[in-house]
Structure 1
């Protein structure tokens, strides 16, 4: 169901908000080469183990976009946004 009502704000705020959220959520992807050694030493894992875990996380993050897109198309953006917000808040409190 498409709504003909205009947004109460500029659509560019959605782009800015999404870019900010991706920047916050994807920080570790961009600094991976700097943190992999110290992270492995801190948790007592080899660099190979930490690298494998990182690869699994990135693959899972990428593949989860297909069902997330289907849910968004079927039920609207509120459900995936709420679930994503809860997961990000839970992950950042650890």
Structure 2
């Protein structure tokens, strides 16, 4: 498999959704000053790439978890609030 190519604006959107404080994730000039050719995705961006596969796996198991309520996916889509079942001890 080759590289996973993502546009600059998607990297910026994700960086802002996870409240990054490092300018290399949002500002091209800051990224270039740090030696990168363009903005750099935050380390947590990998969740965007693996979420569909993990969702398929967990969706096929009887875990009682709803993949649509995972905090990374919810946060990247701007969804807020607690939505885990009352019986769950996992944070939203």
- Classify the TM-score, shorter chain: 0.3 to 0.5
TM-score normalized with structure 1 length: 0.34
Computing the radius of gyration over CA atoms, which structure comes out larger, 1 or 2?
1
Structure number with higher relative contact order (C-alpha < 8 Å, ≥ 6 residues apart): 2
Q: TM-score, normalised by structure 2?
A: 0.34
Identify the structure with the greater helix proportion. 1
